[in-house]
Amino acid sequence: MPTVSYMDPQGTEHVIDAEDGRSVMETAVAHGVPGVVGQCGGSLACASCHVYVREPWIDRLGEVSELEDDMLDGAMAERRPESRLSCQIKMSAELDGLSVEVAPEQL
C-alpha cells in the first residue's frame, strides 16, 4: 500500500497509507488531514483540495488538465508552479512516498 505525506497548514506532518486508485484528496479527507476540504467531492468543481506537490514528485505527475488549470486560477491560496488539486492525483505504487503541502487557505 503506497503512503502519502501531508504537511498541514500548522506544520504537522501526517503520513498515511493510501489505497491504490484513491485520490490524494479522498485519502486526506478520510483520515481527517486538516486543511483539505474536498467540498465538491472530487468532481473538479472547486479548489478546496489545493496542495503544493514537493520535489521530486511534481515531475512524476501527469500534466494539469485545462479544467484543473482553470480551478487552480480561482484557488484562495497563492498558485505556485507546484500547485495541484489533490482530487486529481490518484495514488499508485509509483507514487509511494508522495509528499504534499496543504495550501494555507481553501475556502
- For residue 107, the model assigns a pLDDT of 81
Confirm or reject CATH 3.40.50.150 for domain 3-102, answering yes or no: no
Query: With a cut of 70, which residues of the chain have pLDDT below it?
Result: none
What burial class does residue 11 get, using C-beta atoms within 10 Å of its C-beta: 0-12 exposed, 13-18 middle, 19+ buried?
Answer: exposed
For residue 39, which of 12, 13, 75, 3 has the smallest C-alpha distance?
75
Q: Do you find a cis peptide bond into 56, omega within 30 degrees of 0?
A: yes
> One-letter amino acid identity for 39?
Q
Its pTM stands at 0.96
- For residue 49, the model assigns a pLDDT of 98
Contact call for residues 105 and 77 (beta carbons, < 8 A): yes
* Domain coordinates in residue numbering, the chain: 3-102
| Main-chain phi, psi angles of 39, to 5 degrees | -55, -40
- For residue 25, the model assigns a pLDDT of 99
